[in-house]
DNA sequence: ATTGTTGGATAGTACAGCTAGCCAATGACT
DNA sequence: AGTCATTGGCTAGCTGTACTATCCAACAAT
């Protein structure tokens, strides 16, 4: 398969494929001559993965590069690869350790995680992200204690256990399993987000009416 | 309160405040002379709202402007204001009606919504967003039927009913209530997303171990 | 021999979200 | 009254991201 066919099959324009090659998101094809290279099924799959992370997961190119590097590194455990994806998904929230309100939010986040008995790396940026959410909620005068977030945490845990990680079949190649897991993380996240907004719209329509106050 | 104090209180730099004023995100202060304007508590609250939508909700400036315009328009019903926020949160997914796979994903999305009995506007962009997620899932070989997404939908609905819209107290000014509802939409979305990733990390740590396959 | 494609490289584009600089009017302080 | 910092309003510039566009020489196909 030459680059033009790869482009046709994947729907990604040739210049963009070249860009991904340059950026190291897509491995080079097999060079058959100075001006020919052969691409295969693996490249098609990788392109699908890139587009999923980009369009659905909204990951920046640099983050996608890191995730793919982890996927390709066969010495990494499943847990570490997934951790890389989680890290990439966590928007860079810079903590302000000298801010009293921030420290409080952060310890509320840590407390919630501890109470749930979750095993989370002490350095995980997700902790800071949770703290930022708690801080924002409290600044806006909304319930922001661990107690208020508990139902969300429990619902999240149940979905993850029963429908995401639990259903990963390990009877494939490592690469496929890892890809499925990583992309599943991202796409299920958006699925839940979209469904939540739909649930809100529906509830809002019933409570407030199509035309009303 | 002058602009420098507004900046100090809110933590937003003066040039950025000027930028928000130019962009119409922040109403002008009350002019007391040609070179003085007075800002009040309302501006501080509006800035908090902007930063929440921007940093936590990741809404682009243009979308924030539309949301705030809806919040300020007293003739709009709660439902319409919330709809504006939902519309702003839905990333522009352009549907490809001439693509067979797309049409199938879209009708699967519509079917799920219908089966759940949800009241969703036929034109809602969220329908397309759901279709895109379904399409991506199926392209990646993952379960993407309405059935597979049902548990997510039900969990989302329960959270929305019991902890978001249900708890809105209507004993405030319309502006406050609307602001709370809109920002709650956004921030609870992130809260759920963060907690889901944490649940994944924890589950992954237990299943795959800190060091393992 | 002609025509068209390819890989590789460089440069340019479009948008977003600020950030910087300037200016004259003004207010606060001495 | 004189000095000095601040303000609003303006225009321009900056940084980062994700592409596009163009060019070129080497090759392959006919």
For A57-106, the pLDDT digits (tens) are 999 999 999 999 999 999 998 889 999 999 988 887 777 777 888 999 99
pLDDT confidence of B170, banded at 50, 70, 90? low
Q: What percent of chain A has pLDDT over 90?
A: 66
Neighbouring C-beta atoms of residue B105, cutoff 10 Å: 24
Q: What angle (nearest 5°) sits at the alpha carbon of residue A131, between those of residues A126 and A134?
A: 130
| Phi (first) and psi of residue B80, to 5 degrees | -70, -40
- Burial bucket for residue A94 (CB in 10 Å: 0-12, 13-18, 19+): exposed
Range with the poorest average pLDDT among A41-55, A91-105, B131-145, B165-179: B165-179
| Pairwise CB contact (< 8 Å): A165 & B203 | yes
Nucleotide nearest B29 (Cα, C1'): D8
pLDDT confidence of A208, banded at 50, 70, 90? confident
Kind plus residue range of the DSSP H or E element containing A33:
strand A30-33
**Per-residue pLDDT at A169:** 65
| Pairwise CB contact (< 8 Å): A56 & B191 | no
Range with the poorest average pLDDT among A128-132, A164-168, B85-89, B186-190: A164-168
Contact between the CB of A32 and strand C at under 7 Å: no
Helical pair A78-89 and A61-72, crossing angle rounded to 10 deg:
180
pLDDT confidence of B169, banded at 50, 70, 90? low
Residues from chain B contacting residue A137 (CB–CB below 8 Å)? 187, 191
- Counting every residue written for chain A, the total comes to 213
Mean pLDDT of A150-171: 85
Range with the poorest average pLDDT among A165-169, B5-9, B113-117: A165-169
**Structure token pair of residue B189:** 């979305």
Residues from chain A contacting residue B211 (CB–CB below 8 Å)? 77, 79
Contacts of A104 (CB under 8 A, 6+ apart): none
pLDDT of B94 higher than 80: no
**Per-residue pLDDT at A97:** 75
**Per-residue pLDDT at A170:** 65
- How far apart are alpha carbons A40 and A30 in whole angstroms? 9
Pairing mode, if any, of strands B36-38 and B30-33? antiparallel
Strand D nucleotides, any atom under 7 Å from protein beta carbons: they are 6-11, 17-22, 25-28
| Phi (first) and psi of residue A32, to 5 degrees | -105, -15
3-class DSSP assignment, residue A99: coil
Distances (CA, A) of B21 to A15, B29, B47: 39, 9, 11
* β-pair partners for B36: B33
Nucleotide nearest A5 (Cα, C1'): C5
pLDDT confidence of A178, banded at 50, 70, 90? confident
> Half-sphere exposure of residue A179, counting CA atoms within 13 Å on the CB side?
21
- How far apart are alpha carbons A69 and B195 in whole angstroms? 25
Beta strands in chain B (DSSP E): 30-33, 36-38
Handedness of CA A17, A20, A25, A30 (dihedral sign): positive
Based on its alpha-carbon atoms, the radius of gyration of chain A, rounded to whole angstroms, reads 21
**Per-residue pLDDT at A125:** 93
CB A194 within 8 A of CB B129: yes
pLDDT confidence of B142, banded at 50, 70, 90? confident
The whole-angstrom distance between A35's CA and the closest CA on chain B is 31
Residues from chain B contacting residue A150 (CB–CB below 8 Å)? none
Helix, strand counts (H, E) of chain A = 9, 2
pLDDT confidence of A211, banded at 50, 70, 90? low
A-contacting residues in B 123-182 (Cβ below 8 Å): 124, 126, 129-130, 132-133, 136-137, 139-143, 148-149, 151-153, 155-165, 167, 174, 179-180
| Pairwise CB contact (< 8 Å): B208 & A129 | no
**Per-residue pLDDT at A23:** 94
| Pairwise CB contact (< 8 Å): B196 & A187 | no
**Per-residue pLDDT at B211:** 58
Residues from chain B contacting residue A201 (CB–CB below 8 Å)? 82-83, 86, 118-121, 124, 126
Largest Cα–Cα distance of chain B, in whole Å?
70
Nucleotide nearest A19 (Cα, C1'): D19
Task: Return the residue matching tokens 């997620």.
Answer: B133
Based on its alpha-carbon atoms, the radius of gyration of chain B, rounded to whole angstroms, reads 21
H-state helical runs in A11-124? 14-23, 41-51, 61-72, 78-89, 100-116
- Burial bucket for residue A199 (CB in 10 Å: 0-12, 13-18, 19+): buried
């Amino acid at each position: 398969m030459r680059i033009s066919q790869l482009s046709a099959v994947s729907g990604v324009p040739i210049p963009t494929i070249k860009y991904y090659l340059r950026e190291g998101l897509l491995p080079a094809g097999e060079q058959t001559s100075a001006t020919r290279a052969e691409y295969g099924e693996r490249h098609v799959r990788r392109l699908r993965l890139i587009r999923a992370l980009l369009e659905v997961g909204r990951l920046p190119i640099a983050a996608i590069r890191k995730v793919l590097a982890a996927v390709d590194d066969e010495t990494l455990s499943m847990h570490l690869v997934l951790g890389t994806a989680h890290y990439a998904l966590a928007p860079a929230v810079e903590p302000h350790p000298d801010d009293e309100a921030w420290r409080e939010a952060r310890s509320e986040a840590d407390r919630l995680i501890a109470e749930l008995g979750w095993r989370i790396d002490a350095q995980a940026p997700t902790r800071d992200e949770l703290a930022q959410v708690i801080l924002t909620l409290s600044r806006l005068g909304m319930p922001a204690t661990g107690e208020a977030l508990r139902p969300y945490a429990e619902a999240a845990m149940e979905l993850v256990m029963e429908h995401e990680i639990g259903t990963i079949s390990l009877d494939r190649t490592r690469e496929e399993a890892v890809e499925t897991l990583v992309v599943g993380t991202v796409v299920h996240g958006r699925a839940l987000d979209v469904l939540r907004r739909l649930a809100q719209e529906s509830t809002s329509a019933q409570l407030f009416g199509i035309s009303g106050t």
